[in-house]
Amino acid sequence: MNTEAPASAAPPDDPYVWLEDVTGDKALAWVRERNAESKKALEGDLAFKTLEADLLAILDSDEKIPYVDKQGEYYYNFWKDKNHQRGLWRRTTLAEYRKDEPQWETVLDLDALNKAEGENWVWHGADCLRPKEQDAPYVRCLIALSRGGADADVTREFDLSTRQFVKDGFFRPEAKGGLGWIDEDTVYVFTDFGDGTMTSSGYPRIVKEWKRGTPMQDAKVVYEGTDGDMYIAAYRDHTRGYERDFVSRTIAFYNDELYLRGKDGKLVRIDAPNSVNKGAYRDLLTFELREPWSVGGKDYAAGSLLAARLDDYLAGKREMQVVFAPDERSSLAGFGATKDYFFINVLEDVKNRIYLVKPGKDGWTREPLPGVPEFGTVGISAIDDEESNDYFLTVTDYVTPTSLMIGTLGEGKPQPLKQLPAFFDANNLAITQQFATSKDGTKVPYFMVADKAIEKNGKNPTLLYGYGGFEVSLTPGYNAGVGRGWLSQGGVYVVANIRGGGEYGPRWHQAALKRNRLRAYEDFAAVAEDLIAKKITSPKHLGIQGGSNGGLLMGNMTVLYPQLFGAVVCQVPLLDMKRYHKLLAGASWMAEYGDPDKPEEWEFIKAFSPYQNVKPEVDYPPVLFTTSTRDDRVHPGHARKMMAKMKEQEHDVVYYENIEGGHGGAADNRQLAHMQALAYTFLKQKLFVKD
């Protein structure tokens, strides 16, 4: 576990820097004291245990949809329930999966593994090697396991035929990084090889080609980045007939280079701007534009998806085809392919639309996928992009339990396959989409879930959720925890699609970068003010919640707009923006926020650094801070220091730190139910009050 900045190195203006010592005795003693206080304040609530039990029952339910991934003849699923807190990796056939109660074959029992090894492993996924022959079974996998849910993990080779880890197989020690298959005896490895091999962001700087039976340290260097890069990696595209190797150099978010690696080991850079997200599929190169691009004598707008023939492009031709072009109300949410079709997923005013697209003499044409609902969040994925045109479709919204459908592109509408049960009564609830006007006149969409007969008297307890960063879109989804913990209690739930997110593509994100960061907070405040103006709620009854970058949002709403809110839940947050780039993965986010070490950039960063801006004389709303000791992405010191500072200033603050959980805050269902119950109990105590 990383520890940082002992008290002896404390900046003169930061008396709480000792709390950055993640596992230091003094810091953990402080954490235990704060946890005891929050336990008394929140767990002592008469309704807490019942709520926690109900939330755990939802998380442990056997009626959840077991989402699967096809590999060979089997469909694999990772499953958690009350008897398998860390989870089962299991598989079944499609014929079985179609049944209401499929028969599953356990491949790996993580709880049993933890017991046998005396560990606290958390599942991080499996990468299984595609066999050379189309009908051959999958045999070898690389399984990633994390201690307590941290980003750092180990990778171990696993044999599907014996369902055992391979003795003396590929093994990558605990670090941030990974392994990826080249062939059955060769992998790409990018990890911590020792001093000087990780970037300043704490990610791999070197990628190697590693042969079975040789020491990892002696593996052949494929590419070495610089200390200032973010992440170096490599991978093989195993598509039959199009096998190719690529090296990716991520310099920062939205700034990367892609290299094609030849059989001789030489690298050829894909000649496109670093802001373009570059990919390859069969004989095509794809380009997702984050900025306008003039190429081949033509201009293309930011947010477009372009395609070109790979061989032609490498030969110098720049004949681009437009697969998708955005407008003011739409953006690309994703794209993919089956054996014979391409598809795109488009957000139109934050509502998904799925289209089949195909190249033609006059460019790419598109037609809607039949059977897709008009409202809600819709996701599509190919079941096997080489062997069939089959696809899975997920459909969800805030009050409709998620459904999983199966279909075949070109053969009519998808058919129902699995349905999540209703975990709360939504019969009297309605979803509406509305727009608030931000400070600069921008229309900001938001979704509201409320009783159909809501009385607009300003007294409705309302929870406003937001994120607003890294081009992440918040779309409607069935959240049984929100339903049980908030909506079923009579609360109103609102999600704000503020700038910084990706709801309207790159432009929506870029509008709130660096010196324009305050726009995201102005947008969020505009939504709050709109709810108050429409008398949905009032500051006394309006609470807000967010985590990670959304935790930074919560911190800034607290210190910049304290008059608007009655309670704040601030989860795994960034808060000290003067030191964020020196803590764990913080340096990797400077493209989003800026560099505090540059005086000209600190001038605008300090305006959205809650830790520097909190004041003793201001009346702030009550705040609950939550974080995880095992979070090795956003340092727990952010929440610790903000709590300590606000507590000393005698503000109304509560703090809880989970020992496990990583950046997600919880390592298993019990921990997650506990964290959710803390938040909803806190919000109910503060917002369900009489005028």
* Residue positions annotated with a catalytic role: 548, 663
Rounded-to-integer distance, Cα 57 and Cα 206, Å: 44
User: Which residue type is seen at 596?
Assistant: P
Rounded-to-integer distance, Cα 311 and Cα 379, Å: 31
Rounded-to-integer distance, Cα 275 and Cα 290, Å: 6
- Characterize the bridge pairing of strands 462-465 and 443-451: unpaired
Rounded-to-integer distance, Cα 190 and Cα 177, Å: 5
User: Which residue type is seen at 379?
Assistant: G
DSSP string, 112-160: HHHHHHT--EEEEEEEEPPPSSTTSPP-EEEEEEEETT-S-EEEEEEET
Rounded-to-integer distance, Cα 671 and Cα 55, Å: 11
* C-beta of residue 158 within 8 angstroms of C-beta of residue 166: yes
CA nearest neighbour of 632 among 28, 146, 119, 142: 146
Rounded-to-integer distance, Cα 416 and Cα 421, Å: 14
Q: Residues near 82 by Cβ (< 8 Å), separated by ≥ 6? A: 56, 60, 669
Angstrom CA distances, 546 to 469, 564, 568, 582, stand at: 11, 16, 9, 23
Burial grade of 646 (CB within 10 A; 0-12, 13-18, 19 or more): buried
Burial 284-322 (b: 16+ CB within 10 A, else e): bbbbbbbbebebeeeebbbbbbbbbebeebeeeeeebee
* C-beta of residue 627 within 8 angstroms of C-beta of residue 82: no
Q: What angle do CA 320, 296, 274 make, to 5 degrees?
A: 80
* Positive or negative: CA dihedral 454, 458, 460, 466: positive
Q: Give SS3 for 255.
A: strand
Edge-first strand listing for the sheet containing 390-396: 377-382, 390-396, 403-408, 415-419
Q: Residues near 394 by Cβ (< 8 Å), separated by ≥ 6? A: 377, 378, 379, 380, 402, 403, 404, 405
* C-beta of residue 105 within 8 angstroms of C-beta of residue 689: no
Q: Give SS3 for 607.
A: helix
Q: Greatest CA span in the chain, whole angstroms? A: 75
Q: What are phi and psi of 477, to 5 degrees?
A: -150, 150
Q: H-helix or E-strand containing 654?
A: strand 653-658
DSSP 198: B
CA nearest neighbour of 353 among 335, 374, 371: 374
CB atoms within 10 A of CB 567: 25
Rounded-to-integer distance, Cα 235 and Cα 182, Å: 7
